Chains A and B, each alone.
Chain A
């Protein structure tokens, strides 16, 4: 076993040897090495997070036909550091009557809920972080902590706009958690496990996106809602709701929410790629070198992140009651129906050839999606007839 095949294990064993050589207890040195590993992962994620600010600003600029940051350094690459220095030296304000402990804890929990997801993310065949057998559920559990941080931020700010923003955001997050949980079951059904790495290795022949494109789409919608990005940024509204739950936060505390959101978007891009696009796998290239596998995973995660940004900067704003109705009346039943159909098809086609299995799954997805759209179309047509009168709707259809 050499460094290039399994860098983390070799480095960890070498470090443990060094610590034991210094006269340290074997268990203590092991704990210390694990701690250093976690520290390294968090450090790398935070550095990536800094450059996500640059990526985000560059991409939004292209979507809006601008150039974006281009003054500091090549392609404006030094710009995020200027942003961070600005955030750090800003005055750190605490509103009057704020609940200080809860107020300061909220941004930390928000960031923590994102970093905790990476505990179960396999970034290469030999780098599995924690090989948890309930990895998919763990994702939802960390989301629960994120929800908690938002309600804490909204309440402790002692500001009615922050509280209303917090309520609105949490209402969306709690609602869209349901279809997310239902669609998380779809890769679980295909792979027979909730373990993230088992889900990746099960995508041997076909990516799960091919087997369940509708499931991938619903998961993406629920993930964007979980992030609170447009079109789900309904907690914010410059003219009537100010900036949502983070209204009263200044300087780096606001920066924690902002950086947490960016890293969360990348994280969900990565989770999306793990669940439906094979994670670090790419036609056997991941077996060549773990470093190549990391690059493949990062590229897929960034591609998912790009899709999330694409949605964010091109979608219109939707009213919050419509958004919640969309979830409870349309998306949640659809996600559950899809889960049931997938489980049924899996039971029927378990012993069939892979081609028949894939074709059956894909077709059942198409049928479920088509039925859902037809039902939605007829319901919305009736709604419009109620509002506009039969004649106008009939005329509009000619």
Chain B
């Protein structure tokens, strides 16, 4: 095993363990903090994949914005944060079914995928990853349409949030 594989196994194990703790810890704030650890683990996986930009964006967006928002929402909506209620609600079987189906689908798909045993291609020296990413996102031959659709979706979400929060006099 190479050093990189060992690091990957450690990081992946820690990420999965903290992901498990997100759904099992009884304290909602602890769950949110474990979620931060999970997201950080994913950022490290991005780094191992040589995608530094993705790793940094992962930390900025998911930890800096979304996780903080989660913590705020939990703190502002719960009366008592030492949650003692049941951890499962009546929809647990639907959730379990979805999880099993998703895992099974991914497993079946990746089992026949040939990329598992390949080694990653070397990035040539002087290759500007970010410039290439930017060009791909704005090029009509590549991903400009999904990029714009995502922008419109976010804009709609923002307008909706403003409408809901707007205090009608």
Contacts and interface: CB of A to CB of B under 8 A. Distances in A.
Given A102-B33, A137-B60, A155-B29, A194 B65 contact: no
- Indicate the member of B56, B59, B128 with the most A CB atoms within 10 Å: B56
A120 to B, nearest CB: 10
A174 B72 CA distance: 12
B53 interface: yes
B21 interface: no
A163 B81 CA distance: 13
B63 A144 contact: yes
A138 B36 CA distance: 17
A391 to B, nearest CB: 26
B60 A140 contact: yes
Given A148-B36, A152-B33, A137 B57 contact: yes
Contacts of A141: 56, 59-60, 63-64
A140 B61 CA distance: 10
B75 interface: yes
A261 interface: no
B19 interface: no
Contacts of B57: 137
Contacts of B12: none
A105 to B, nearest CB: 9
Contacts of A148: 36, 63, 67-68
B130 interface: yes
Given A137-B57, A152-B33, A174 B65 contact: yes
Nearest to B61: A144
A133 B64 contact: no
Contact of B68 (A133, A137, A174, A194): A174
Contact of A133 (B3, B29, B52): B52
A134 B130 contact: yes
A44 B53 CA distance: 29
Given A133-B130, A134-B130, A140-B60, A147 B52 contact: no
Interface string A47-74: 0000000000000000000000000000
Interface of A: 27, 99, 102, 132-134, 137-138, 140-141, 143-145, 147-148, 151-152, 155, 163, 167, 170, 174, 177, 194
15 contacts: A132-B52, A133-B130, A134-B52, A134-B53, A134-B130, A138-B56, A140-B64, A144-B68, A147-B64, A151-B68, A155-B29, A167-B72, A170-B72, A174-B64, A174-B68
A-B complex: 8 closest residue pairs judged by Cβ atoms? A144-B64, A141-B59, A137-B56, A134-B56, A144-B63, A141-B56, A141-B60, A134-B53
